[in-house]
C-alpha cells in the first residue's frame, strides 16, 4: 500500500474499480464524508497510516478524497491537504467534511483534539489551502462553551441558505456559519437529544462523536456514534428544526466492529447510501480502518430501515 499512497500524496490520481466492500483497498481510510457535486459523488476521508500501531492514538498526517460517477469506477485524487501545510497544527488529522458554495469548496478539518480549521479550494477534489491561518473553533480556555473535544465537523446548508456546523466528541455542539463559510454566524450551542438521558458510554443512544446532519422530506436527521467499543455503531435522531432538539430514533446499522464508528448518509442519483468504516482490510486492527458503503432505505414514517453489517469475505 505504501508505494501507491506515496505517489498519490504528490498530487497524482489513480483509477480503481469497486470490488465490493471495503471500497478502498490500496490504503487505509476512515471517517467518510460523502458529498454529491454535479453528477459525481465525492468521499472525503481521514487516512490511517500503514504503520499505525494499536497503542498510538490515531496519529494521522493527511486527508484523502475519492470520487465516482457510477459507484463502480472510482478516482483516488490523492491528499488534498496535509498537516505540514497547516502552520498552526502538528498532529491528528482526523475526520473531515467538505461542502461547496458560491463556486468554492470549503474543507473542514479537526486537529489536535482541540481545534477545527477550514481550508478552501476551487475544486471538490482540492487542493485546499488553509483559509484563516488559525482555527475556526478552538476550545483553549473555553471548554464549557466549545466542549472537551471539538472534532468531527459536519456541515449542513439548509434550503434557505443558512449553513450550520455540528461537531464534538462527548459534547455535541452546533453553530451557524456566515455565508462566507469561514466565520461563525452565532453562538456555539449544545445539541439536545431527547430519549437518551439514562444511556451510558458505548450503549443505547448515548452521544459519543461523529455528528452528520442531513435533511429528507422536511425532517432533519442527526447521525452519530455511541462510543468506542466493539458493539458501538451509528445511530440517529430526528427533528423538524435544524438545530434540534432531536428525538432519538435508533440504530442506522449494526456494529461494523472497528472499535470506532463514523460515517455519513447521502442521496445519489435517486438512491440513499450510508458510508462507514470497518477493519476488514487490516484483519480487525481498529487503528487501520477501511471505508465501506451500502444502500439504505427508509420506512414510510421516515425512519431508517436498519442495515445489517456483513463483514467482507474476499479481502486480500
Residue 149 among the catalytic residues: no
Q: Which of 48, 152, 209, 278 is catalytic?
A: 209
Contacts of 183 (CB under 8 A, 6+ apart): 136, 177
**Three-class SS state of 76:** strand
Q: Residue 260's closest CA among 36, 28, 41, 25?
A: 28
Cα separations in angstroms, 292 against 111, 220, 237: 24, 24, 22
Residue 55 among the catalytic residues: no
Q: Which of 31, 152, 171, 278 is catalytic?
A: 31
Q: Residue 182's closest CA among 102, 242, 262?
A: 102
DSSP per-residue string spanning 28-59? EEEEEEEEEETTEEEEEEEEE-TT--TTS---
Q: How far is 284 from 260, CA to CA, in rounded Å?
A: 12
Contacts of 267 (CB under 8 A, 6+ apart): 36, 216, 273
Show which residues are catalytic.
Answer: 31, 209
Amino acid at each position: 500500500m505504501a508505494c501507491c499512497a506515496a505517489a498519490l500524496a504528490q498530487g497524482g490520481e489513480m483509477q480503481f474499480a469497486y470490488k465490493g466492500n471495503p471500497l478502498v483497498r490500496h490504503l487505509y481510510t476512515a471517517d467518510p464524508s460523502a458529498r454529491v457535486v454535479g453528477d459525481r459523488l465525492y468521499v472525503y476521508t481521514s487516512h490511517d497510516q500503514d504503520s499505525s500501531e494499536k497503542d498510538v492514538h490515531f496519529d494521522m498526517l493527511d486527508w484523502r478524497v475519492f470520487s465516482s460517477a457510477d459507484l463502480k469506477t472510482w478516482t483516488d485524487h490523492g491528499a488534498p491537504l496535509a498537516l505540514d501545510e497547516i502552520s498552526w497544527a502538528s498532529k491528528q488529522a482526523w475526520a473531515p467534511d467538505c461542502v461547496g458554495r458560491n463556486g468554492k469548496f470549503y474543507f473542514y478539518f479537526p486537529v489536535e483534539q482541540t481545534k477545527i480549521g477550514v481550508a478552501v479550494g476551487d475544486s471538490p477534489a482540492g487542493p485546499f489551502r488553509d483559509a484563516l491561518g488559525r482555527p475556526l473553533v478552538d476550545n483553549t480556555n473555553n471548554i464549557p462553551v466549545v466542549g472537551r473535544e471539538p472534532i468531527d465537523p459536519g456541515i449542513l446548508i439548509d434550503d434557505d441558505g443558512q449553513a450550520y456546523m455540528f461537531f464534538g466528541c462527548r459534547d455535541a455542539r452546533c453553530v451557524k456559519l456566515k455565508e462566507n463559510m469561514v466565520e461563525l454566524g452565532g453562538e456555539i450551542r449544545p445539541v439536545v437529544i431527547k430519549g437518551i438521558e439514562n444511556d451510558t458510554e458505548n450503549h443505547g443512544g448515548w452521544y459519543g462523536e461523529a455528528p452528520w446532519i442531513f435533511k429528507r422530506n422536511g425532517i432533519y436527521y442527526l447521525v452519530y456514534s455511541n462510543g468506542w467499543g466493539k458493539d458501538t455503531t451509528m445511530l440517529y435522531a430526528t427533528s423538524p428544526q435544524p438545530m434540534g432538539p432531536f428525538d432519538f430514533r435508533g440504530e442506522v446499522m449494526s456494529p461494523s466492529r472497528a472499535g470506532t464508528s463514523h460515517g455519513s448518509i447521502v442521496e445519489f442519483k435517486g438512491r440513499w447510501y450510508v458510508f462507514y468504516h470497518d477493519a476488514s482490510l487490516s484483519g480487525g486492527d481498529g487503528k487501520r480502518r477501511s471505508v465501506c458503503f451500502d444502500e439504505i432505505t427508509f420506512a414510510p414514517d421516515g425512519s431508517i430501515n436498519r442495515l445489517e453489517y456483513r463483514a467482507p469475505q474476499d479481502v486480500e
